[in-house]
């Protein structure tokens, strides 16, 4: 039987694997070759899922694949019921697909206020940001090889997202040089990555600008309160159930979570 390229059938299979927590040994259809094909699957899955989208993750496309895919970023939905506030120092349990792919990423989180009609640029996009917080994106998919077949495959399964931990705010973000802020990521107390946002293309506000343009092209509104997980700062750190992840921003702002299966 031929491998399906019907985005609805692929979306149904991906959703079933997530709901049943069943690992996918093969991708459930033809690999999407373009971002348009990937977002068609993603849009179908969002519609079938029915949950409210509370934010969007933004990830980077490898430099050697930028020309092929027409851009340097991808996005996927973060559902409201998988966004956890840990700003008071809580250590929430964040579930992943233990037999699939799972990772934790230190990220800057932007909260949209009103997004007006018209064009934005890298400077004016700040005007529609209401708050900035620290956080951890939990990436997970029942397809263990999700990141091995290109960004379109990654984007097709919710951008490989499984949740978001909201850490403490950066209250003075308008006057802070976020780009040079040092960030460290630890797993079970061992540092697994350290970097600044200088590694993130044009930084977190570039991610917000990308998201506005991409969602508008897909006909998706951005209501106030929508979160943007702006991209991995220290890398994509694979993680397993039972482990503990902690991100430290500017040497003093901490956000943590425990990973469950």
- Cα(157)–Cα(76) distance, rounded to whole angstroms? 8
Tell me: pLDDT of 19 over 90. Answer: yes
Task: Provide the H-helix boundaries in 171-237.
Answer: 203-217
- Cα(119)–Cα(109) distance, rounded to whole angstroms? 22
Q: Rounded to 5 degrees, what angle do the CA atoms 252, 102, 35 make?
A: 105
Tell me: pLDDT of 185 over 80. Answer: yes
Give first-to-last CA distance, the chain, whole Å.
34
- H or E segment to which residue 192 belongs: strand 190-195
Tell me, what's the pLDDT at 136? Answer: 98
pLDDT tens string 188-220 = 999 999 999 998 999 999 999 999 999 999 999
> Where are the domains positioned within the chain?
53-260
Task: Provide the H-helix boundaries in 73-202.
Answer: 151-156
Please state, for a pLDDT cut of 90, what percent of the chain lies above it.
Answer: 97
- H or E segment to which residue 68 belongs: helix 66-69
pLDDT category of residue 4 using cuts at 50, 70 and 90: confident
The token pair at 239 is 């993680």
CATH T-level topology, domain 53-260: Fumarylacetoacetate hydrolase; domain 2 (3.90.850)
Tell me, what's the pLDDT at 63? Answer: 95
Nearest CA among 179, 180, 176, 138 for reference residue 159: 138
pLDDT category of residue 2 using cuts at 50, 70 and 90: low
Residues in a beta bridge with 139: 103, 161
Strand, helix or coil at 135?
Answer: strand
pLDDT tens string 41-63 = 999 999 999 999 999 999 999 99
Tell me, what's the pLDDT at 1? Answer: 37
| More confident: 110 or 118 | 110
- Cα(21)–Cα(19) distance, rounded to whole angstroms? 6
Who's near 43: CB < 8 A, 6+ residues apart? 7, 218
What is the gyration radius of the CA atoms in the chain, in angstroms?
17
Tell me, what's the pLDDT at 5? Answer: 87
pLDDT tens string 116-158 = 999 999 999 999 999 999 999 999 999 999 999 999 999 999 9
Q: Cα 87 vs. chain centroid, distance in angstroms?
A: 19
What's the burial of 171, exposed, middle or buried (CB within 10 Å: 0-12/13-18/19+)?
Answer: exposed
């Amino acid at each position: 039987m031929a491998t399906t390229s019907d985005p609805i059938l692929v979306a149904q299979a991906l959703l079933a694997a997530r709901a049943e927590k069943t690992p996918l040994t093969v991708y459930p259809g033809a690999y999407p070759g373009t971002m348009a094909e990937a977002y068609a699957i993603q849009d179908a899955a969002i519609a079938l899922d029915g949950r409210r989208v509370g934010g969007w993750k933004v990830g980077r496309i490898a430099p050697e694949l930028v020309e092929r895919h027409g851009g340097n970023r991808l996005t996927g939905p973060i559902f409201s019921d998988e966004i956890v506030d840990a700003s008071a120092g809580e250590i929430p349990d964040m579930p992943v697909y233990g037999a699939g792919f799972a990772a934790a990423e230190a990220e800057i989180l932007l909260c949209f206020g009103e997004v007006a009609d018209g064009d934005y640029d890298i400077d004016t996009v700040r005007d529609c940001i209401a708050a900035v917080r620290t956080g951890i994106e939990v990436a997970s998919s029942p397809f263990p090889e999700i990141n091995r077949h290109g960004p379109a495959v990654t984007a097709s399964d919710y951008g490989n997202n499984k949740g978001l931990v909201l850490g403490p705010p950066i209250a003075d973000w308008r006057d802070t040089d976020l780009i040079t802020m040092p960030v460290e990521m630890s797993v079970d107390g061992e540092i697994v990555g350290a970097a600044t946002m200088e590694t993130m293309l044009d930084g977190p506000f570039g991610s917000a600008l990308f998201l506005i343009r991409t969602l508008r092209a897909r006909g998706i509104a951005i209501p106030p309160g929508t979160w943007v997980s702006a991209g991995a700062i220290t890398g994509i750190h694979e993680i397993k159930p039972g482990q503990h992840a902690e991100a430290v921003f500017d040497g003093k702002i901490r956000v943590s979570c425990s990973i469950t299966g």
